Chains A and B, each alone.
Chain A
């Protein structure tokens, strides 16, 4: 069955596969893959996700980076598959090569099938920059199809299933954002802004000072009257200079290779045990600024001005659900106090200032 569902897809542009065929291919693949894959369950933003992975090693790695495997019984809200179609029994991987060649047409085809899907453009090596990713919002089943696991983009393991989590949480009225976070007690500061503004450095400075974090890359924020922020990935990314600035002469216990951005990826729990929080109330939206000041200071900033500086990180970077993302981000800036933080050069002074801010409810 899978052969017939998939073989009909490796066709020329003139015989474009139908939406129905794509839906069939998704259902057949996931049914067959679920029988062979290594399964592990994780929890993100109060959603139980069953991961169906092609190897035990990948299952363990992705689970650890999504906060660790959970063992409790309960309903699986979502099923995410990562795999090669041929591994699941498809005789014709070219069918997926065809999907990968569709580009924006793949998004349209997925939409016609009631799915959301993207496939990245080709890189210099002719590999897609984003795996062929599909999500069925009605069933909560999503897939990342790759013709070979070696073709996974280098950032995939650093932020596993980020697109599927983004779409699944958007469907539930939540929003995945690109932000750093620091937590004291139950109150969180959401650090937003452009790349290089100091989000990750401030997060690392904070946890080195004893604060907690919900993440420094992607987090999920709810649309409640009092918004909450949830952990997505348990991994911090920091450039080597930033690591050295915070840790000083202390060496990483397990030095890591640099990732595709030239950053070190570290499991913060290995170095700052207890620093990861699952969720917290969003007490402030903060736009950090590397000021090299003697002391870290906070000043109120109008929501309009924060939005103008942080729109990209708050809603523009992830494909799909763009309109709801825009509305969410604007509403969040109106609902939560907005501040600019002028950073000093001393990571521990920054950590102390953030703790005072969170514990006092302001500067």
Chain B
């Protein structure tokens, strides 16, 4: 069943099907059932951290709407996609966020990029993340070579 953004309340990571980790600010999440990897950076990573620590995504969208309505729309769409991809699910508890929303704070500071990518071939991703051979500011999996940078 496809979940609409308006139906989403508090969320949690869909363990054990979903495994996720924070790599220097980038969230890499995988649905072990489907085998699809997701890379979340910038505001998308902040949004993941917010909703998995008890923030209500609808409340975040409302705050973002006061800054930029497009940011609010994008956050709703990303959350719906993450739920429909089996990475997040409605929370079985009622967590209370202890910190202010990182997404809102960063949007208030002028950030506008929600960077979301998904991949199905893990081998390319592994080869694209060798030791210190990744152009960090361009993001994974962009690989640097001797002649410059290629995607």
Contact = CB atoms under 8 A, between A and B. Distances in A.
A77 interface: no
Interface in A169-203: 170-173, 175
B123 A223 contact: yes
B126 interface: yes
A331 B129 CA distance: 15
B131 A334 contact: no
Contacts of B133: 137, 171
Interface string A193-231: 000000000000000000000000000000100000000
B84 interface: no
A323 B122 contact: no
Nearest to B18: A304
B30 A330 contact: yes
Contacts of B140: 323
Interface residues of A, number: 33
A172 B127 CA distance: 7
Contacts of B15: 304, 308
A327 B118 CA distance: 13
Given A111-B132, A137-B131, A303-B32, A324 B16 contact: no
B131 A327 contact: no
A22 B116 CA distance: 36
Contacts of B19: 304, 307-308, 311, 326, 330
Given A304-B16, A327-B125, A320 B32 contact: no
Contacts, number: 83
B8 to A, nearest CB: 23
A331 B132 contact: no
Contact of A324 (B17, B35, B126): B126
Contacts of B17: 304
A111 B131 CA distance: 9
A173 B127 contact: yes
A322 interface: yes
Interface in A301-320: 302-305, 307-308, 311, 320
A112 to B, nearest CB: 10
A75 to B, nearest CB: 19
B131 A320 contact: yes
Interface string A153-178: 00000000000000100111101000
Q: Tell me if A's interface is mostly helix, strand, loop or mixed.
A: helix
Interface string A115-126: 110000000000
A293 B20 CA distance: 35
A114 interface: yes
Contact of B126 (A135, A167, A308, A327): A327
B132 A327 contact: no
A328 interface: yes
Contacts of A34: none
A228 to B, nearest CB: 14
Contacts of B122: 223, 327-328, 330-331
Nearest to A331: B122
18 contacts: A114-B132, A115-B132, A167-B131, A223-B122, A223-B123, A302-B16, A304-B32, A307-B16, A322-B23, A323-B21, A323-B26, A324-B125, A324-B126, A326-B19, A327-B122, A330-B30, A330-B122, A331-B122
Interface of B: 15-17, 19, 21, 23, 26, 28, 30, 32-33, 35, 37, 122-123, 125-127, 129-133, 140
Q: Nearest 8 A-B pairs (CB), nearest first?
A: A304-B16, A324-B129, A331-B122, A171-B130, A116-B131, A323-B23, A173-B127, A324-B126
Given A171-B133, A304-B19, 4 more contacts: A171-B130, A307-B16, A308-B19, A327-B126
